C-alpha cells in the first residue's frame, strides 16, 4: 500500500525560517502566524488527510466515477470523506471570515492544498476548484450571490466548477459556440455543450455552481467568432431564488457523459449539456455591465488562481511519489554497492538511485519554497501597506505564475516517473500504487492552458508590457540571494546561481530584441520558461541554504534537517542550474528550422 | 480512433540508401536484399499489421487479460490475429531456414518488429519474446530441442517466455530462490515462483516454452546466494517427449495471477508457480555441462536480444504516437498564428507544436537508422568474411546495445508524452487512444534491466575491458561521418557533431580516469549514456544528411522526403546535440553530493 506523510516540518521551515511570515507585521493577519498557530493547523489537516483521504486514493482510482440515471456517482467513501473534510473546516482555511472562512492567508491555503492533493489528488480537486470558483465569484458576483452562494461554497455544501472548454475549442475561446440569450427579467438562458468539466456532477454536495463562458449576440443579433462576445455567467445545477437563496427546481444542465481518463479517475470529468439553462451574468462590479471585459477578466482571475493551484497540485503528487520511492529504495535489497562487500544492500546505496531520489526531493522542497513565496507575493499584492510594495509584488506574482504552472507540472511528472523507475517492474503494477502518481500527475501539464501556452504567456505577455519592471524585480531578488550566500562563504552556491542568472538575463534580452518576431519568440518560449524555472528554484535554494547555514551555526537542534537543505541546495546548483546554457543556446535559435516543413510533411 | 501507418518508406531509405544493404555482397543473404525483395516484404507486414493488429490495440488495452479457471484469456480477437500473423509468416521473417523460417537478416526482423509493435505493442510482445527465446534455445538447447521445439516456435504454434524475476529479486540474481534438483534420468525438477512473466500464459498457442533461471545446490547440497549456482533451464507448459516431440501431460507450472498493469494490458504478465516442474538444463553446447557459465551466458544472450528488441519496441510505440499527434495537429483548429491574420489555423502552425512534432520525428527516424545499423553490425559480427570485421562489428554492437535499450526507451517515452501534450485535454481521455501510448511505452524503460542498470553496464562493462577498442571504432565512425558532411559543404552539421563528439571523448576519458572509483562511475553513468545516445543519433543524422544531399543533387524524385531528412538532421544537430555539454559537466561531478546523506535521511 502506498504511504503519504504530509510535509509539515518542511512547511514550517518555509513559513517561519525562510519567509519569516511571523515578522511581516504590516500584512493583515500575518503577525498571528506564529508556530503556535501554523503547526496545529498544518498538523491537523495533515493527520486528517493521512488518515481519511489517502486510504481512498488507490481505491478511488480503481473504481472511478460513473454515470447512473443522469447523476454521477463518485468512488466509495469519497462523499463521506469530503463531508468530514469540510466539517473539520480544512477546505476553508484561507476563505474570508465574512463568508464563514477561517481567514488565514492564502499561503496557508496553499500548504493545505498541497497536503490535500498529496493524499488524494482526485478528491482534493472537488474542493480546490470550489475555492477557485468562489474567489472568482467574490469579485464578479452580484450582492445576492455573495450573500447566498459564497457562504455555501465556503462551507463546501455547494461546490463549484469552471466551464470553458467545448469539444472543438479549448485555448481559442473565439471559436466557442455556447450561446447566452438575455431574458426579460435580466437573467439569461444558456445553450451549448461544455467538456472536461472537473467535478461537473457528483454526489458530494447538494448543489453545484457552474461558472460558464458563453457568447452574447452582437448588435445585429448574430454570434460571431470574436473574443468581445464572450461573457461570463453563473449557472446553478439547482436554480436558486436570489431573494432567499433557497434551491428550487433543477436547472437545464445535464451530464452528457463522464470521461474515462488516464488518471485523476476519482474526479468526475463531465460533458455538460446546457439547454436553456437559467444563467446570471457575472462581471467585475466596477466595470460596465455591458463590457465583455468583465467576463474575460473574471475568467482570467479564476484561471490565474487555478494555474497556481495546478502547479501546487503537481507538487503534491510529486511529493507523494517521492516518499513512496524513497521508502522502497530503503527497503528493497539488491546487490552489493562496493567491491569487497558481499552483503546485499538496499538499492538506496546505488548512486543512480540516489540521483533520482535527490532530484525528486530537491525539486519538491525547492518548489514548495517557491510556491510559498509566490503565495506570499499575492498576499502582498493585495494587502501590503505601500502601493509600491503592492505593485512590485503583483509584478512578480504575474511573471512567476506561468512558471509555477508549467515548470512545476513538468518536473513533477518527471518526479513521478523517477519514482516508478526506482520501483522497477513493481512500479508498473497497478496494485503497488506508484504508477497512479504518473497517471494523475500527467494532467497538470495540460490543465488551465497546456504548458506550451504558459510558455507563450511568459514570453509574449509577461515579458512584454510591464515585463521589464517585473523581470528587474526578479533579477534583484536573485542578486540579493547571491550576495546573501557570499556573505557567509557559500560561494559555490552563489557562483552557480550567478552564472545561471546571466543566462536568464541573456534570454530575457534576446526575447526583448526579438519581440517583433512572433514565430521566433514562440519557438524560444519553452526554453526560456525552463531557464526561468530552473533559476527560480535555484533562487529559493540559495535562500534556503543561507538560512540553514545560519541555523546550523546557531546550533539549532534539527541538524539533520538543516544539513539536508544544504545538500539539496548544492545538488540543484551543481546539477540542475547548468541546464540554462543549453536552454539559452536553443532559445537563441528562435524558430530556425522549425517552420521549414510544409504542415502536411509532418 | 488512433491511426497507424507503418514507416515502410523510411525503412527502405535506411536499408537501401543509408546502409546500402544490397551492396554488402560478402554477407550471407544480403545480395538478395534489393528493393524487389524488401519492399513487398515490408509492405506485406505493414498492411497486415495496419489492417489486423492495429484495430485491436485499443480494445485490447481496454479489455486486458484475465485468469479464468487457471488459464489466461487474452483480449477478444488477439488469438485469431496472432494465428493469422504467424500463418502469413510475419513472425518468422528472420528465423533460420533450417527451422522453417524465411532466413532473412535480423535487420528485416527488426523492421518487422517495429511495425508489429507500432500497430499493437501488447500483441507483438508474444511473438517478439518467442523469437528471443528461440534464438537462445538455438545456442543453448540440446539436439532434441532443436529438432522438436524450435520449429514449433518458429511457426508460432508454440510460444516462449523468459522467467528470471522473483518477487524479491530482479537485477540481483544471486538472491534467487527457485531451486532445481537433478533427477535420476538427467532431467531436473524446478520449484519456485517467478513474476513479471510476459506471455506467461495465454490462449494464443498450444504450448509455451519457458526459459527459466534456477539454482542448483552446491557440492554440500546447499542453495547459496551465489551467481555460480544459477543455471538455465527449459520448462514446457505441456511436457514434451524428447524422442517424438509430442506433447504429453501438463507440467507443474501454474498461473498464480495475472498482473494489472499501467499499460501493455493486452499482454498477460503472469506470476508463475513452478512445483516440481520437469525441466531440462540448457547450456552452450561447447561448454562443460557442469559450468554455471553455460546458464548465465544463455541468459545474457537472451537478454541482449531482448534489450535490442526493447529499444526497437519503444521506437514502434513512439512512431505510432507521433503519427497520431501530427494528424491531430494538422486538423485541430485554434487561434491565429501571426498578427494580422484573423483566420483560425490548425495548431501545427504554432512553433511550439512544431517543436514537439519535429523532436518526436527526428528521434524516431534517427533511432530507426541507428537501430538498423546496429542490427547490421550484429549480422556482420556473425557472418562477415574477415575475423577483424566480425570483431569490430561485435565490439560496436556490444557497446551500443545498452544505448539502444535505455536511450531509445527514454526518448520514446518523451515522444509519447509530447503526443499527449499536443492533444491537450483530449490526450488525457482514454477513448482518444493517445494516452495508451504513454502507458504502453513506460515499460520499456524498465524491461530487461532498468535504464539505470543499462547505464551502469555501459560505463562499468562496455567501456571497461575491451571497451577502448569498441569506443575507438565508434569514434572513427563519427569521424567518417563528419568528413562526409564536410566534403559536400554540410559544415553546420559536421561542426555540431564534432563539438558533441569532443564531449563524448572527454566523457569516455573521464570514465577511464575514474574507473577505480565505483561510486563516481556509477553516479556519472546516466549522463554518459545520454551523451552516447544523443551523439549516436547525431551520427546517423550526419550520414542520412549526406545521403539525402547526394540524392537531391541527383534529382531523385522523392524531394519532399529527402528535404525533410535535411530539416530533421539540422534539428538534431542544432537543438539536441548541444545537450552534451551539460551532461558532461554533470558526469564529471562523479558522485559528489549524491552520497552525503544518510539513507534514512531521504
Residues of B within 8 A of A443 (CB-CB) are: 428
pLDDT above 60 for A315: yes
Can you tell me the distance from the alpha carbon of A349 to that of B247, in angstroms, rounded to the nearest whole number?
47
Residues of B within 8 A of A560 (CB-CB) are: 598, 601
Q: What is the pLDDT of residues B396-445, one digit of tens each?
A: 999 999 999 999 999 999 999 999 999 999 999 999 999 999 999 999 99
Can you tell me the distance from the alpha carbon of A312 to that of A375, in angstroms, rounded to the nearest whole number?
10
Decide if A257 touches B, using CB distance below 8 A.
Answer: no
| Relative orientation angle of helices B518-553 and A351-383, to the nearest 10 degrees | 80
The cell numbers describing B233, all together, are: 533451464
Inter-chain CB proximity B591 and A519 less than 8 Å? no
| Relative orientation angle of helices A351-383 and A518-553, to the nearest 10 degrees | 100
Residues of A within 8 A of B428 (CB-CB) are: 261-263, 442-443, 446
pLDDT above 50 for A447: yes
pLDDT of B148 reads: 98
The cell numbers describing A23, all together, are: 515578522
Helices (H), A141-223: 143-148, 150-155
pLDDT confidence tier of residue B225, bands split at 50, 70 and 90: confident
pLDDT above 70 for B102: yes
pLDDT above 60 for B126: yes
pLDDT of A552 reads: 98
Q: What is the pLDDT of residues A15-62, one digit of tens each?
A: 999 999 999 988 988 988 999 999 999 999 999 999 999 999 999 999
Q: What is the pLDDT of residues A240-261, one digit of tens each?
A: 999 999 999 999 999 999 999 9
Can you tell me the distance from the alpha carbon of A97 to that of A104, in angstroms, rounded to the nearest whole number?
9
Q: Cell 543533387 appears where?
A: B553
pLDDT above 80 for B163: yes
Enumerate residues 6+ apart whose C-beta is below 8 A from A15: A21, A33, A38, A107, A111, A372
Task: For residue B116, give the nearest of B45, B170, B14 by alpha carbon.
Answer: B45
Can you tell me the distance from the alpha carbon of B548 to that of A246, in angstroms, rounded to the nearest whole number?
73
pLDDT of A284 reads: 55
What b/e string do you get for A379-415 counting C-beta neighbours within 10 Å, with b at 16 or more?
bbbebbeeeeeebbbbbbbbbbbbbbbbbbbbbbbbb
Can you tell me the distance from the alpha carbon of A201 to that of A270, in angstroms, rounded to the nearest whole number?
7
Can you tell me the distance from the alpha carbon of A578 to that of B97, in angstroms, rounded to the nearest whole number?
54
What b/e string do you get for B454-482 counting C-beta neighbours within 10 Å, with b at 16 or more?
bbbbbbbebbeeebeebbebbbebbeebb
Return the higher-pLDDT residue of A543 and B225.
A543
- How close is the nearest chain A Cα to the Cα of B539, in Å? 19
What b/e string do you get for A298-312 counting C-beta neighbours within 10 Å, with b at 16 or more?
bbebbbbbbbbbbbb
Inter-chain CB proximity B350 and A452 less than 8 Å? yes
Task: For residue A601, give the nearest of B570, B567, B556 by alpha carbon.
Answer: B567
pLDDT of B466 reads: 65
Among B residues 452-511, those touching chain A with beta carbons less than 8 Å apart: 452, 455-456
Among A residues 320-379, those touching chain B with beta carbons less than 8 Å apart: 326, 329-330, 333-335, 337-339, 344, 346, 348-358, 361
Decide if A574 touches B, using CB distance below 8 A.
Answer: yes
Inter-chain CB proximity B586 and A601 less than 8 Å? no
Can you tell me the distance from the alpha carbon of B109 to that of B11, in angstroms, rounded to the nearest whole number?
12
Q: Cell 512544431 appears where?
A: B354
What b/e string do you get for B126-137 counting C-beta neighbours within 10 Å, with b at 16 or more?
bbbbbbbbbbbb
Enumerate residues 6+ apart whose C-beta is below 8 A from A588: A506, A507, A510, A524
Q: How far is CA A344 from CA A349, A420, B173, in A?
A: 10, 22, 11
pLDDT above 50 for A287: no
The cell numbers describing B202, all together, are: 495465454
Closest-CA residue in chain B for A435? B262
What Rg value do the Cα atoms of chain A yield, rounded?
24
Residue A117 · residue A317 · CB < 8 Å: yes
pLDDT above 80 for A404: yes
Q: What is the DSSP string of A111-149?
A: HHHHHHHHH-HHHHHHHHHHHHHHHHHHHHS-HHHHHHT
What b/e string do you get for B342-362 counting C-beta neighbours within 10 Å, with b at 16 or more?
eebbbbbbbbbbbbbbbbbbb
Residue B430 has its nearest CB partner, among A261, A442, A574, at A261
Task: For residue A589, give the nearest of B15, B570, B527, B410 by alpha carbon.
Answer: B570
Choose, from A114, A379, A448, A576, the residue flagged as catalytic. Answer: A448
Helices (H), B49-104: 57-63, 78-87
Closest-CA residue in chain A for B264? A428
- Residue-averaged pLDDT of chain B: 94
pLDDT confidence tier of residue A474, bands split at 50, 70 and 90: very high
pLDDT of B339 reads: 59
- How close is the nearest chain B Cα to the Cα of A332, in Å? 8
pLDDT confidence tier of residue A172, bands split at 50, 70 and 90: confident
Q: What are phi and psi of A82, to 5 degrees?
A: -65, -45
pLDDT of B294 reads: 59
pLDDT of B288 reads: 47
Q: How far is CA B8 from CA B4, B172, B279, B413, B558, in A?
A: 12, 40, 42, 22, 14
Beta strand A207-215 with A230-236 is antiparallel
Compute the average pLDDT of residues A561-585: 98
Inter-chain CB proximity A439 and B262 less than 8 Å? yes
pLDDT confidence tier of residue A170, bands split at 50, 70 and 90: confident
- Residue-averaged pLDDT of chain A: 94
- How close is the nearest chain B Cα to the Cα of A396, in Å? 25
Q: Cell 562499468 appears where?
A: B460
Helices (H), A384-441: 387-423, 435-441
Our CA angle for B299, B300, B306, nearest 5°, is 95
- How close is the nearest chain B Cα to the Cα of A421, in Å? 7
pLDDT of A234 reads: 97
Inter-chain CB proximity B352 and A456 less than 8 Å? yes
Inter-chain CB proximity B344 and A174 less than 8 Å? yes
Inter-chain CB proximity A442 and B417 less than 8 Å? yes
B351, B417, B446: best to mutate for the A interface, most A CBs within 10 A: B351
Instruction: Give the length of chain B.
Output: 602
The cell numbers describing B1, all together, are: 480512433
What domains appear along chain A, each with residue ranges and CATH number?
Answer: 8-138 (1.10.540.10), 160-298 (2.40.110.20), 302-587 (1.20.140.10)
Phi-psi map region of B89: left, alpha, beta (phi>0 left; psi -120 to 50 alpha): left
Q: What is the pLDDT of residues B493-513, one digit of tens each?
A: 999 999 999 999 999 999 999
Residue B282 · residue B213 · CB < 8 Å: no
pLDDT of A160 reads: 97
A63, A348, A589, A593: best to mutate for the B interface, most B CBs within 10 A: A593
Cβ atoms < 10 Å from Cβ of A22? 17
Inter-chain CB proximity A438 and B262 less than 8 Å? yes
Decide if B522 touches A, using CB distance below 8 A.
Answer: yes
Compute the average pLDDT of residues A559-585: 98
Q: What is the pLDDT of residues B165-192, one digit of tens each?
A: 999 887 788 889 999 999 999 999 999 9
Residues of A within 8 A of B563 (CB-CB) are: 597
Among A residues 289-328, those touching chain B with beta carbons less than 8 Å apart: 326
pLDDT confidence tier of residue B285, bands split at 50, 70 and 90: very low
Strand partners, B257: B271
Task: Please count the residue pairs, one from chain A and one from chain B, whose beta carbons lie less than 8 angstroms apart.
Answer: 254
E strand or H helix that includes residue B77: none
Cβ atoms < 10 Å from Cβ of A44? 16
B594, B596, B598: best to mutate for the A interface, most A CBs within 10 A: B594
Interface confidence, given as ipTM, is: 0.96
Inter-chain CB proximity B171 and A335 less than 8 Å? yes
Q: What is the DSSP string of A148-161?
A: HTHHHHHHTSEEEE
Inter-chain CB proximity B351 and A261 less than 8 Å? no
Strand partners, B303: none
Compute the average pLDDT of residues A127-155: 96
The cell numbers describing A293, all together, are: 471585459
Q: Cell 539559452 appears where?
A: A584
pLDDT of A294 reads: 59
Our CA angle for B592, B598, B599, nearest 5°, is 100
Closest-CA residue in chain A for B336? A172
A61, A121, A173, A262: best to mutate for the B interface, most B CBs within 10 A: A262
Compute the average pLDDT of residues B15-27: 95
Of A340-349, A540-549, B97-106, B510-519, minimum mean pLDDT range: A340-349
Per-residue 3-state assignment (H helix, E strand, C coil) for B270-339: EEEEEEEEEEEEECCCCCCCCCHHHHHHHHHHHHHHHHHHHHHHHHHHHHHHHHHHHHHHHHCECCCCCC
Q: How far is CA B16 from the centre of its chain?
A: 22
The cell numbers describing B207, all together, are: 504450448
Closest-CA residue in chain B for A518? B338
Maximum CA extent, chain B = 87
Residue B352 has its nearest CB partner, among A420, A438, A455, at A455
Compute the average pLDDT of residues A400-415: 98
Among B residues 183-212, those touching chain A with beta carbons less than 8 Å apart: 195-196
pLDDT above 90 for A339: no
pTM (predicted TM-score): 0.96
Can you tell me the distance from the alpha carbon of A389 to that of A249, in angstroms, rounded to the nearest whole number?
48
Instruction: Please say if B487 is a catalytic residue.
Output: no
Q: How far is CA A204 from the centre of its chain?
A: 23
pLDDT confidence tier of residue A227, bands split at 50, 70 and 90: confident
Query: CA end-to-end span of chain B, whole Å?
Result: 44
| Relative orientation angle of helices A35-48 and A106-119, to the nearest 10 degrees | 20
Choose, from B114, B138, B448, B576, the residue flagged as catalytic. Answer: B448
pLDDT of B194 reads: 98
pLDDT of B242 reads: 95
Amino acid at each position: 500500500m502506498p504511504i503519504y506523510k504530509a510535509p509539515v516540518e518542511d512547511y514550517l521551515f518555509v513559513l517561519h525560517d525562510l519567509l519569516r511570515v511571523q515578522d511581516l507585521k504590516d500584512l493583515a493577519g500575518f503577525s498571528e502566524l506564529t508556530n503556535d498557530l501554523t503547526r496545529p493547523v498544518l498538523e491537523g489537516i495533515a493527520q486528517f488527510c493521512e488518515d481519511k483521504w489517502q486510504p481512498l486514493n488507490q481505491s478511488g482510482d480503481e473504481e472511478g466515477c460513473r454515470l447512473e440515471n443522469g447523476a454521477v456517482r463518485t468512488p466509495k467513501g469519497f462523499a463521506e470523506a469530503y463531508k468530514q473534510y469540510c466539517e473539520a473546516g480544512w477546505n476553508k482555511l484561507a476563505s474570508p471570515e465574512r463568508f464563514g472562512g477561517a481567514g488565514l492567508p492564502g499561503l496557508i491555503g496553499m500548504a493545505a492544498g498541497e497536503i490535500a492533493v498529496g493524499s488524494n489528488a482526485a478528491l482534493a480537486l472537488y474542493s480546490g476548484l470550489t475555492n477557485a470558483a468562489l474567489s472568482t465569484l467574490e469579485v464578479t458576483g452580484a450582492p445576492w450571490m455573495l450573500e447566498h452562494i459564497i457562504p455555501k461554497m465556503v462551507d463546501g455544501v455547494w461546490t463549484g466548477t469552471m466551464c470553458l472548454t467545448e469539444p472543438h475549442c479549448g485555448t481559442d475561446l473565439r471559436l466557442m459556440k455556447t450561446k447566452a440569450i438575455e431574458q426579460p427579467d435580466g437573467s439569461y438562458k444558456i445553450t451549448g455543450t461544455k467538456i472536461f468539466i472537473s467535478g461537473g456532477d457528483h454526489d458530494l454536495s447538494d448543489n453545484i455552481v457552474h461558472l460558464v463562458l458563453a457568447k452574447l449576440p452582437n448588435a445585429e443579433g448574430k454570434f460571431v467568432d470574436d473574443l468581445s462576445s464572450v461573457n461570463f455567467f453563473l449557472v446553478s445545477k439547482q436554480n436558486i431564488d436570489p431573494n432567499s437563496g433557497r434551491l428550487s427546481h433543477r436547472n437545464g444542465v445535464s451530464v452528457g457523459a463522464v470521461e474515462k481518463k488516464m488518471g485523476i479517475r476519482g474526479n468526475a470529468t463531465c460533458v455538460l449539456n446546457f439547454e436553456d439553462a437559467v444563467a446570471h451574468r457575472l462581471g467585475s462590479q466596477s466595470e460596465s455591465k455591458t463590457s465583455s471585459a468583465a467576463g474575460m477578466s473574471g475568467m482570467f482571475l479564476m484561471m490565474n488562481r487555478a494555474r497556481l493551484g495546478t502547479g501546487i497540485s503537481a507538487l503534491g503528487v510529486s511529493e507523494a511519489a517521492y516518499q513512496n520511492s524513497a521508502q522502497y529504495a530503503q527497503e528493497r535489497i539488491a546487490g552489493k554497492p562496493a567491491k569487497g562487500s558481499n552483503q546485499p544492500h538496499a538499492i538506496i546505496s546505488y548512486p543512480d538511485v540516489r540521483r533520482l531520489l535527490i532530484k525528486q526531493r530537491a525539486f519538491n522542497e525547492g518548489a514548495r519554497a517557491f510556491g510559498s513565496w509566490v503565495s506570499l507575493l499575492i498576499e502582498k499584492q493585495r494587502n501590503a501597506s505601500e502601493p509600491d510594495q503592492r505593485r512590485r509584488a503583483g509584478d512578480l506574482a504575474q511573471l512567476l505564475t506561468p512558471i509555477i504552472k508549467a515548470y512545476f507540472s513538468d518536473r513533477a511528472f518527471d518526479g513521478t516517473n523517477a519514482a516508478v523507475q526506482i520501483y522497477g517492474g513493481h512500479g508498473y503494477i497497478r496494485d503497488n500504487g506508484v504508477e497512479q502518481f504518473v497517471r494523475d500527475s500527467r494532467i497538470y501539464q495540460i490543465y488551465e492552458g497546456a504548458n506550451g501556452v504558459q510558455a507563450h504567456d511568459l514570453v509574449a505577455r509577461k515579458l512584454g508590457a510591464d515585463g521589464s519592471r517585473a523581470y528587474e524585480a526578479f533579477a534583484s531578488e536573485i542578486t540579493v540571494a547571491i550576495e546573501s550566500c557570499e556573505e557567509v562563504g557559500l560561494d559555490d552556491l552563489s557562483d552557480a546561481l550567478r552564472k545561471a542568472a546571466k543566462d536568464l538575463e541573456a534570454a530575457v534580452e534576446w526575447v526583448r530584441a526579438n519581440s517583433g518576431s512572433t514565430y521566433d519568440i514562440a519557438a524560444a518560449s519553452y526554453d526560456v520558461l525552463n531557464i526561468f524555472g530552473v533559476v527560480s528554484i535555484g533562487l529559493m535554494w540559495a535562500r534556503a541554504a543561507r538560512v540553514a547555514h545560519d541555523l546550523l551555526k546557531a546550533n539549532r537542534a534539527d541538524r539533520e534537517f538543516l544539513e539536508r537543505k544544504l545538500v539539496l541546495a548544492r545538488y540543484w546548483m551543481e546539477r540542475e542550474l547548468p541546464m540554462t546554457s543549453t536552454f539559452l543556446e536553443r532559445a537563441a535559435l528562435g524558430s530556425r528550422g522549425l517552420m521549414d516543413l510544409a504542415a502536411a510533411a509532418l
